[in-house]
Structure 1
Amino acid sequence: MDIKQLKFLIALDETRHFGQAAARCHITQPTLSMRLRSLEEELELPLVNRGQRFESFTAPGERVLAWARTVLAAYDGLYAEAAACRGHLVGTLRLGVVPLSSFDPLPLMQRLHQLHPNLRFELSALSSEQILEQLASNQLDLGVSYLDRLDGERFDSLALAKTRMGLLYDHRHFSFGEDPLSWESLIELPLGLLTSGMHFRQSIDHNFHSRGLNPLPLLQTDAVHQLLQAVHGGFCCAIMPLDGGLETLTEHLRLHPIAEAKTLARLGLIMRRSAPHSALAEACFAAYQKIIEAS
């Protein structure tokens, strides 16, 4: 067994396609299949259900896959740790962020890239549950998620500023005065909202329902980009983080403050406590702590 076989296994899990997995690993498909069969023979376990194409992983294959991710993360972490001991950071920082977070990762990435030019970044939009799961399984180095249900014994966190809300709209289709909007006034507007299972939507619902209001959204979606497209087209307005910078995406978008509008829970930058610790995660955590202290 070698580390490349584990990389091939993970690539197959992420693509669910033998040809795409081979292309990602810069090898031919027959080579990928041969190396995976060699791994199965060594472990004396069937790992992949094969037909004309990839079908699924076997139950033992799923368990081996989880170990493969842990081993590969430790392998990458070892090289990153050695580089950190030499005063350098290398590798890829894996950061997961909840949708519609008011956290802007750009200043952090710019700061780290200036200090460590060989550092690369992988940014994923994930639910709060997915972020905690992937932090725990070492699939992420850091996460930005809500702190209301965070297990403080398993994770370290840096609380971020409270998320304020505003109304995102296209000024070619809507116009508002200078005063903050009331929740009562939003009821009269064509609203586009995230679906009800998403954390940011729960805060929106709480603000409406605590005032005895029941909105009837014109559009509901779990895709942020589709919501932004609908707003830009004048189809609807959307309640968004006030400090997320979304109004800068095009010259026509505007964000108007909403009175007494904050999310139920604060966001935080989260890092796994259990070993092995990622040198990249620790450096990023410390760098953002300095950004908070300087602001």
Structure 2
Amino acid sequence: MIEKLEMLLALASERHFGRAAEVVGVTQQSLSAGIKQLEERLGVLLVQRGSRFQGFTAEGEKALEWARRIVGDARAMRQEVRRLSRGLAGHLRIAAIPTALPVVASLTTPFRARHPEVRFTVRSTTSAEILSLLANLEADIGLTYLDNEPLGRVTALPLYRESYRLITAADAPLGRRESVTWAEAAGVPLCLLTPDMQNRRIVDAHLRAAGTEPATALESNSMIVLMTHVRTGRWASILPTVLAGLLGLTEPLRAIPITAPEVSHAIGLVALQRDPALSLVSAFVAEAREAALGLSGSEELPI
């Protein structure tokens, strides 16, 4: 039964029979047969079929809600039983917004030092996708914005506040300034994240609030792409202060505080509200709580 529910969850995530089969490690024929067996057992049609996946029926959507609970509880049980004999061990899946990726090591490194049997998968994605991954049991922990868009039913732990800097060449028109305004930052050719990223939506909102339209010359969902362009000295970007600091920028680049107004947004850890909570997730949240003070520094959040 649990295996069939795992198949249903994989299909909900992938929206494609072939890809869902790959996720659970079976053939497409076996996945289709497993879901049909689940339908027969429940006595209802769960999936709308055609030449390809067409969605779930109303009964299928309700079955998905229960599948998430049942599969989550089954995974929690296996984890708890293993913990009694092996200590804390297992696989922790972290989904993070791109601007929070540099701080992940500040959380995973001390945690693995205490629990060497734990392994990690870290995925870079959008804030909306993080919530979807958590809901579909495809991620255990998320690192995302806490105060800008709805989070839903999650436990949230503030880690630090994200403020912003203009990253530009020292010999650029604004390169020797001690600070710049949002209006001034809007006037230079900018490399920014793509609009599906919440960081981009935040930056655009602050630029427009200053009465200007951003001069976006390049967009990418990759921080590596942005930084390689900025390092040529011919492009500029707006990045979080913590990210600029961890990148160790040196001449000919400068990270200039953006003021007038000074703004910041809370970044934190999110996890599904579960009772009982997964021991691995609970332990990681506790570790993150200890690390939060070090991450926040002068922009400390109450935790």
Normalising by the smaller structure, the TM-score range is 0.7 to 0.9
Q: Distance in 2 between matches of 1:293 and 1:91?
A: 27
Partner of 2:114: 115
Q: 1:187 to 1:53 in 2, by over 3 A?
A: closer
Read off the aligned partner of 2:278 and give its amino acid letter: S
**1:43 matched residue in structure 2:** 42
* Distance in 2 (alpha carbons) for counterparts of 1:8 and 1:70: 14
Shift of 1:254: 4.2
Flag the 1:18–1:233 CA change in 2: closer, same or farther, 3 A. farther
Matches within 5 A, 1:172-211: 177-183=175-181, 184-194=183-193, 198-205=197-204, 207-209=206-208
**Structure 1 CA distance for aligned equivalents of residues 29 and 132 of structure 2:** 34
CA deviation after TM superposition for structure 1 residue 267, in Å: 1.5
Do the aligned partners of residues 196 and 48 (structure 1) sit closer, same or farther apart at CA in structure 2, a change above 3 Å counting?
closer
Query: Is the partner of 2:99 in helix, strand or coil?
Result: coil
Q: Percent identity?
A: 27
Superposition deviation, residue 289 in structure 1:
2.0
Map 1:254-265 onto structure 2 (within 5 A).
254=253, 256-260=255-259, 263-265=263-265
CA-based RMSD: 3.8
Listed as ranges, the matches of 1:135-150 within 5 Å are: 135=134, 140-148=139-147
Q: Is the 8 A contact 2:94 2:140 kept in 1?
A: yes
C-alpha change, 1:88 and 1:187, in structure 2 (3 Å) is same
Question: How far is the alpha carbon of 1:8 from its aligned partner?
Answer: 1.9
Give per-residue Cα distances to partners, 1:127-176, cap 9 Å, x unaligned. 445545655675543322333269999654432232232233578x9586
In structure 1, the gaps of 5 or more residues are none
Quote the offset at 1:34 in angstroms.
2.0
Could you state the TM-score of these two structures normalised by the residue count of structure 1?
A: 0.78
CA 1:27–1:193 in 2, change beyond 3 Å: closer, same or farther? closer
Query: Compared with structure 1, are the counterparts of its residues 202 and 195 closer, same or farther at alpha carbon in structure 2 (3 Å cutoff)?
Result: same
Q: Match for residue 239 of structure 2?
A: 240
Instruction: List alignment gaps of at least 5 residues for structure 2.
Output: 296-303
Is the 1:141–1:280 Cα contact (8 Å) retained in structure 2?
no
Residue 284 of structure 1 deviates from its aligned partner by 0.5
Q: 1:277 maps to which residue?
A: 277
- Structure with greater helix percent: 2
Quote the Cα distance in structure 1 between the aligned partners of 2:152 and 2:230: 41
User: Would you say the 8 A contact 1:247–1:255 is kept in 2?
Assistant: no
State whether residues 96 and 123 of structure 1, in contact with CA within 8 Å, keep that contact through their aligned partners in structure 2: yes
Conserved 8 A contact 1:154-1:272: yes
Amino acid at match of 1:145: T
Quick one: which amino acid aligns to residue 53 of structure 1?
R
Distance 1:15 1:141, change over 3 A: closer
**Corresponding residue for 1:100?**
99
- The secondary structure found in structure 1 opposite 2:291 is helix
Match of 1:292 in 2: 292
Contact 2:148–2:265, Cα closer than 8 Å, also in 1: no
Q: In 2, distance between residues paired with 1:256 and 1:250?
A: 7
Aligned to 1:218: 216
Contact 2:144 2:269 in 1 (8 A): yes
Give the SS at the match of 1:65.
Answer: helix
Q: Distance in 2 between matches of 1:252 and 1:57?
A: 55
Partner of 1:266: 266
Q: Deviations over 1:16-57 (max 9, x none)?
A: 333333333333332222222211111112222333333333
The alignment partner of 1:145 has SS state of strand
Contact 1:147 1:266 in 2 (8 A): yes
